[in-house]
Amino acid sequence: MKNNENQKALEMFDQFKQKKVNDQDIHDAEAKAKNLGKIVKDFRLLIAMFKDGISGVYSISGLTLATLAGAILYVVSPIDAVPDFIPFVGWLDDVAVITFVLANLNSEISKYKKFKKIE
């Protein structure tokens, strides 16, 4: 993805972090996960982490919850840097946002994996 598209995706992601995630958003994110190529498993882990954080099963900070919410909402949103209806290319911005979140929450994700006993 070009730098300008990557920057646009990250700016939009910041806007999504301010919104709330509902059950339908989580359902849609789980359904759309299959389109994320090699990071499907990672995105599903982020969804599980968000659900456990919201339910109180796992304790995480509000900032981490907001970051996870932003990633979930960005993926399910029909409005993003590159429209999803464009085959393959339409998912590149979603992959970029998820990769960004994975990198920035690496430490917290490692703690969550230990908590869930996931290798």
pLDDT at 50: 93
Given the structure tokens 């970029």, which residue do they identify? 96
Structural Rg of the chain based on CA atoms: 13
Report residue 4's pLDDT band, with 50, 70 and 90 as the boundaries: low
User: Residues 58-102: pLDDT tens digits?
Assistant: 999 988 888 899 889 888 876 655 555 555 556 677 888 899 899
pLDDT at 14: 65
User: Residues 26-51: pLDDT tens digits?
Assistant: 898 898 888 788 899 999 999 999 99
pLDDT at 42: 94
Show the domain range for 107: 3-116
Residues 75, 49, 13: CA angle, nearest 5 degrees = 30
Confidence check: pLDDT of 8 > 70: no
Nearest to 16, CA basis, from 77, 60, 63: 77
What's the longest Cα–Cα distance across the chain? 39
Between 92-104 and 62-76, two packed helices, what is the crossing angle to 10 degrees? Answer: 170
Under 8 Å between Cβ of 21 and 72: yes
pLDDT at 7: 62
Under 8 Å between Cβ of 62 and 10: no
Helix (H) or strand (E) holding 44: helix 40-55
**pTM, rounded to two decimals:** 0.77
How many domains does the chain contain in total? 1
pLDDT at 62: 87
Report residue 1's pLDDT band, with 50, 70 and 90 as the boundaries: very low
